[in-house]
Structure 1
Amino acid sequence: MKLLNQTLKKIGLLDQETMAKTKNRVDNLFKPLGSLGRLEDLAVQLAGITKNSFPTVDKKVIIVMSADHGVYVEGVAPDPQIITALQTPNFVKGITGVCAFAKQARADVVVVDMGIASDIDEPKVINRKIRYGTSNMAKGPAMSREEAIKSLEIGIEIANDQIDQGKNLLATGEMGIGNTTPSTAIFSVIGHLDPETIVGIGAGLPIEKLKHKASVIKKAIAINQPNPKDAIDILSKVGGFEIGGMAGVFIGAASRRIPIVVDGFIATAAALLAITIAPKVKDFLIPSHHTAERGGKIAMQLLGLTPLFDIGLRLGEGTGAALAFNFVEAATYMVKEMATREEAGLVI
């Protein structure tokens, strides 16, 4: 808890003076006012985050958190749980979806075992296993409060390590069979929503099983009674180790004034936990895409952010965040490379 508290105290506000200067420059670039849309907003936000009108975001990393979930035994996912363990090493081999897009964006992918249900024989996967999967949240708390705090602090440590290595743009990704179930539970609790209104198919659950999935989530919430105002309580009772790890990465990035991109459904749940713990984190988040996961738009509305694009993604892993890196970097090039009317000698 010491690291978490210390980190929370370091989270500041966006630098309004730098934002105003950047907004003035953007408005005076040689182009029609507002013609570059969200890129202009991104440039101003980046200036406020970094306290620099000309920030660089050329050292990018996607931190992929992997873990398993005890609620899997309730039949909420179509695939065998062992896929978490089989797929996780593929991230460091560079052969997954997020790896393909990360290569195109010139970004690193860092992989962390937060709680996979079996041991991973891959030295490049960072082993921060809390235990071999969470407990079944339909029977009781997914984890202890101490484990929830530990997952947050691991995320903070991983973020700090990457920033210390020079990374200046972060994102999170995840791997965990069944993790749309705890994510839906998190949205349901914080948003006071009926799980049936947002529950989705995840990695391909048959439509006819959605009612069962929703009923499992309802049962977990009823049994555990998570406090909607206490994100650590929610995480401990109906969350996941990888979700807590991602929430910690968001908090860690904000404390170091580093922009961080939010991916899809699972990452949005983690981001919502992070801003419930520390509302100022929200200013440092850059939303990537509208996930095609049912309930995705409601989830992003709860976060209070508008995604940059919507192309029907629902893979997870950080794929949408990797694609969004290109937009974020484009915003910095716009400010640096475009001339103002005065610089172009076109003042009338």
Structure 2
Amino acid sequence: MNLDDFSDLIERPDGGVRRDAEERRERFIVPPGALGRLDELGEWLSAAQQAVPVRAIEQARVVLFAGDHGVAQLDVSGRAAGTAHELVRATLDGATPLAVLARRFSVPVRIVDAGLDCEPGLLPEAVVRTRVRRGSGRIDVEDAMTVEEAEQAVRLGMAIADEEADSGTDLVVLGDLSVGGTTAAATLIAALCGTDASVVTGRGGAGIDDLAWMRKCAAVRDALRRARPVLGDQLELLAKVGGADLAAMTGFLLQCAVRRLPVILDGVVSAACALVGQRAAFRAPDWWLAGQLSGEPAQAKALDRMALNPLLDHGVVVGEGSGALLALPFVQAAAALAAELPERTPAADEDDAKDDEETSGGETADEVASPAGE
């Protein structure tokens, strides 16, 4: 497998349709620019759907890729190594912020086990049947997985994207359930952006103290040394310092772009996978939205590299897809406004033109009358 092959398969959203959507927007009773970013989103959705007016977002779904990372053994996370399955269980039980929001917004949640480090019996078969391997290697001293496993994980993500597109999903909210995932994500972003470990290392969604941050920074530094020699091959890069869940997310993002399925990215992990995807196919980011700014320095650097402007900045750092899901109503609102706002009637346009003429004529009469009065 060569991820560069995706470059020939991915097209940009339809520019002609977007121009049609822009022209239609100019005829709305609400003046152009009055709705701010909502206008831009509505036009982007029209281009993605190849439809004017845009169709409402009615079948959104949250997709979460789950995995454990061996680097968490270095105490670089606020959670103990090998406990990502607890996050999965809590989400399934409706006891996480993401689960509460999904329930409130009536959005179904799908969890994909790409590399959890737990006994399969702890979770439902629907979750664990996709597992590529049990946990990922400690990337500061060993590969996260083999290249063959990385390819298997990418193909898993591609298959999930196809299933979602075929089932009628019209927008995906993408997130992760991982322990140690932000360390791998920071390494990927540092490698692809050519920057140092200290610039990209944050404190993760669970929060860590200064000593843990120093350990995390050292782990990213050591992993980065291992990553730089394989920068020319995205699949090998994912195998070296990524993880099964990150490789699966990368394959998912790329195949969603192939299938013209828009995706809202969540935090630093999804941003890292998107950056790998951009390296493989430069048009792919045109199909993605940045849901929120998470506060992770690596995420901000990745989004800047992809020219993705976050929809929200509310200080939500919990991860697990929560920030991206909070952006969903904003995107749905953009679609609803673009589809349902009425256009000005021809009579209204004529009245506006008549008013302009009268105003212009009145000014001219005054200008003419003024010298005579003098």
TM-score range, shorter chain: over 0.9
> Partner of 2:41 in structure 1?
42
Distance 1:66 1:334, change over 3 A: same
* Aligned partner (choices 316, 319, 322) of residue 316 of structure 1: 319
Deviation at residue 92 of structure 1 after TM alignment: 2.7
Cα deviation for residue 225 of structure 1 reads 3.2
Q: Out of 108-117 and 78-87, give the one that drifted further.
A: 78-87
CA distance in 2, matches of 1:170, 1:344: 42
Q: Deviations over 1:145-168 (max 9, x none)?
A: 221122111111111112211111
Judged with a 3 Å threshold, the aligned counterparts in structure 2 of structure 1 residues 126 and 20 are, in CA distance, closer, same or farther, namely farther
Query: Residue in 1 aligned with 2:22?
Result: 23
The structure-2 alpha-carbon separation of the partners of 1:273 and 1:57, relative to structure 1 and needing over 3 Å to count, comes to same
Please list, as runs of the form range in 1=range in 2, the aligned pairs for 1:70-219 lying within 5 A after superposition.
70-119=70-119, 120-202=122-204, 203-219=206-222
Cα gap change, 1:31 to 1:112, in 2 (>3 Å): same
Aligned counterpart, 1:334: 337
Provide the residue aligned with 1:274 in structure 2.
Answer: 277
- Distance across 1 between alignment mates of 2:164 and 2:100: 20
Letter in 1 for 2:73: V
* Paired letter, 2:39: E
| 1:279 partner SS | coil
Distance in structure 1 (CA, Å) of the matches to 2:223 and 2:347: 62
Larger Rg: 2
**C-alpha distance in 2, partners of 1:109/1:51?**
27
Match for residue 224 of structure 2?
221
CA drift of 1:124 comes to: 3.8
How far off its partner does 1:256 sit? 1.0
Gaps of 5+ in 1: none
> What residue in structure 1 maps to residue 10 of structure 2?
11
- 1:336 maps to a residue whose letter is A
**What is the distance in 2 between the residues matched to 1:15 and 1:299?**
25
**Residues of 2 paired with 1:344 and 1:279: CA distance?**
46
Shift of 1:229: 4.0
Provide the residue aligned with 1:56 in structure 2: 56
Post-superposition Cα deviations, 1:126-174, rounded to whole Å, max 9, x if no partner, equal 5211111111111122111221122111111111112211111112111
Once the two structures are superposed, what CA deviation does each residue of 1:38-83 show, in whole Å capped at 9, x if it has no partner?
A: 1111111111111112223110111111001111222212321243
- Is the CA contact 2:88–2:111 (under 8 Å) kept in the aligned structure 1? yes
Map Cα deviations across residues 287-344 of structure 1 (whole Å, 9 max, x no partner): 1111122443223212221101100011111111111111111111111110122378
Q: Deviations over 1:222-280 (max 9, x none)?
A: 13434334322221111121111111221121111111111111111111111111111
Q: Mark the CA change 1:226 to 1:71 in structure 2 (over 3 Å): closer, same or farther.
A: farther
One-letter identity of the residue aligned with 2:117: A
1:306 equivalent among 309, 325, 339:
309
SS in 1 for 2:315: coil
Q: 1:246 to 1:87 in 2, by over 3 A?
A: same
**3-state SS of paired residue (2:179):** coil
Match of 1:265 among 265, 268, 279: 268
In the comparison of the two structures, how many residue pairs are matched?
Answer: 347
Q: Which amino acid aligns with 2:86?
A: L
Do the aligned partners of residues 224 and 40 (structure 1) sit closer, same or farther apart at CA in structure 2, a change above 3 Å counting? closer
Q: Secondary structure at the match of 1:12?
A: coil
Q: Structure 1 counterpart of 2:236, which letter?
A: D
1:112 Cα shift?
0.8
Q: What is the CA distance between 1:93 and its match in structure 2?
A: 2.9
2:226 & 2:326 partners in 1: Cα distance?
Answer: 39
TM-score by length of 2: 0.87
244, 247, 253: which one aligns with 2:247: 244
CA distance in 2, matches of 1:305, 1:13: 15
Counterpart CA distance in 1 for 2:5 and 2:347 is 47
Bigger mean CA offset, 156-165 vs 7-16: 7-16
Structure 1 residue matching 2:26: 3-state secondary structure? helix
Q: CA deviation at 1:6?
A: 7.6
Q: Secondary structure at the match of 1:136?
A: coil
Q: Among 284, 287, 299, which residue is 1:284 paired with?
A: 287
Question: 1 or 2, which has the higher helix percentage?
Answer: 2
> CA-atom RMSD, angstroms?
2.0
* Contact 1:89 1:122 (C-alpha < 8 Å) held by counterparts: no
Closer/same/farther in 2, CA of residues 170 and 182 from structure 1, 3 Å limit: same
Contact 2:227–2:237 at 8 Å: present in 1 too?
Answer: no
Cα distance change on mapping 1:104 and 1:212 into 2, 3 Å: same
